[in-house]
Amino acid sequence: VSDASGCSMIALLHTGAAKFPQNLLSRSRRAVFPLFPAGVLKGFSSIVSRKLASHGFGASMAAMSSFPPQRYHYFLVLDFEATCDKPQIHPQEIIEFPILKLNGRTMEIESTFHMYVQPVVHPQLTPFCTELTGIIQGMVDGQPSLQQVLERVDEWMAKEGLLDPSVKSIFVTCGDWDLKVMLPGQCQYLGLPVADYFKQWINLKKAYSFAMGSWPKNGLLDMNKGLNLQHIGRPHSGIDDCKNIANIMKTLAHRGFIFKQTSKPF
């Protein structure tokens, strides 16, 4: 066997182990591995790992083959925080706009978009809002408007290669409120267009219920409890909620769950 074909076979055995019949896999390993000294095999493995890393796949080959591939190249985890009070104020306005770019092959976070937003209709945050979200007045004063933030989201999407038609990505939210109610409602109020990429998403609550067979009434808290995960950060912090969503998705993916769009087309 030549070096080139041997290297190809080793890469196949590493990356395709999950799909390869076990009896054929063991025979192939016995046939190929004795031909190479241990140091050479280690070198080949290192080369393949570096090749994969250069294409954006940072996890080890063993980790990537440990769960089935997803339907999307990237998941865009999003969780808004908005102005609020008791009784509720109208219109509500987005004050925190976080997105985590999750690699669909490794389920690891690759990039983060995070901005606070200046509310214009009710520029003064209520004590209830600050207590709930942890966002104080100084965090939103002087920040960009929603229109400016949406422009920066689009720039970030372009920079991350997410606007390439060959790249499949989808937003993920904890519930339908963020992209079915909050964003389109505020955009309508302000006369702003809603980008097409915000018009389809995965509701993590529905995905969790499909995977686990129970509905998480208390959202992230119930999902973390059901999966024996520690809650990350502060509840109702947009960026912390995104991290919890990403952690839950990674756990479900490692259990073999395949995520699918749950929203209906607009």
Tokens of 160: 């991350």
Tokens of 117: 């937003």
Alpha carbon 152 to chain centroid, angstroms:
19
Q: What angle do CA 202, 204, 207 make, to 5 degrees?
A: 85
Cα–Cα distance measured from residue 29 to residue 48, given in angstroms and rounded to the nearest whole number: 17
Cα–Cα distance measured from residue 20 to residue 31, given in angstroms and rounded to the nearest whole number: 15
Non-local CB neighbours of 194 within 8 Å, separated by 6+ positions: 183, 184, 187
Cα–Cα distance measured from residue 92 to residue 94, given in angstroms and rounded to the nearest whole number: 7
Q: Specify whether the CB–CB gap between 48 and 11 falls below 8 A.
A: yes
Of 104, 23, 11, 97, nearest in space to 57 by CA: 104
Q: Looking only at Cα atoms, what is the longest distance across the chain?
A: 75
Of 65, 94, 71, nearest in space to 82 by CA: 94
3-state secondary structure of 243: helix
The residues annotated with a catalytic role in the active site are 81, 236
Cα–Cα distance measured from residue 252 to residue 249, given in angstroms and rounded to the nearest whole number: 5
